[in-house]
Amino acid sequence: MTRAVLSLGSNLGDRIAHLRAAVAGFADVLVGVSPVYETAPWGGVEQADFLNAVIVVDDPAADAREWLRRGQALEDASGRVREVRWGPRTLDVDVVTVTGVDGPVLSDDPDLLLPHPGTPDRATVLRPWLDVDPAAVLPGHGPVAAVLAALGPDAEDGMRPGPVL
């Protein structure tokens, strides 16, 4: 098996429709879907609030690169245009972690960094991940609950319940 944790984000166009399209795109391999959060943007670019969620997918035949490829195909299908780094997007699909039969997959290939290096700093990923998997562990960092707690009491400020997927 390879199981992947994928983070979804959208702040352009019909945000919930973009997230729903991503979930539908993984329907054949879906094992978990988090609640959606409406979140204030991080990263320093002035832009609209995001909707963020996390899904867990599992497919014995998929390797890590296949999860990246599927996510990018869905980003393209949403009409995503790549412009400003950390700027507005119809759909972002990040591969947060991949776990194979031998344990966590680690990668320092710039095209596919695993675990995704932004994860320990992003409550917008950690919170929904914890919701969908309370026992989740971030390889190299420990339990997701502890990683989120280490961000401090204000980490989830600016995160509100979003629409239902």
Ligand X SMILES: Nc1nc2c(c(=O)[nH]1)N=C(CO)CN2
Ligand Y SMILES: Nc1ncnc2c1ncn2[C@@H]1O[C@H](COP(=O)(O)OP(=O)(O)OP(=O)(O)O)[C@@H](O)[C@H]1O
Decide: is 160 part of the binding site for ligand X (CB under 6 A).
no
Q: Which two tokens stand for residue 93?
A: 């699909």
Q: Are 89 and 71 in contact (CB under 8 A)?
A: no
Decide: is 162 part of the binding site for ligand X (CB under 6 A).
no
Residues 39, 163: Cα–Cα separation, whole Å: 12
Decide: is 72 part of the binding site for ligand X (CB under 6 A).
no
Phi, psi of 103 (to 5 degrees): 110, -165
Decide: is 78 part of the binding site for ligand Y (CB under 6 A).
no
* Interface with ligand X in residues 6-65 (CB under 6 A): 9, 39-43, 50, 52
How many CA within 13 A on the CB side of residue 119? 31
- Which residue in 36, 56, 94, 126 binds ligand Y (CB under 6 A)? 94
Partner in contact with 52, chosen from ligand Y, ligand X, none, beta carbon below 5 to 8 Å by kind: ligand X
Decide: is 68 part of the binding site for ligand Y (CB under 6 A).
yes
- Which residue in 21, 112, 132, 165 binds ligand Y (CB under 6 A)? 112
Residue 57, phi-psi category: left (phi > 0), alpha (psi -120 to 50), beta (remainder): beta
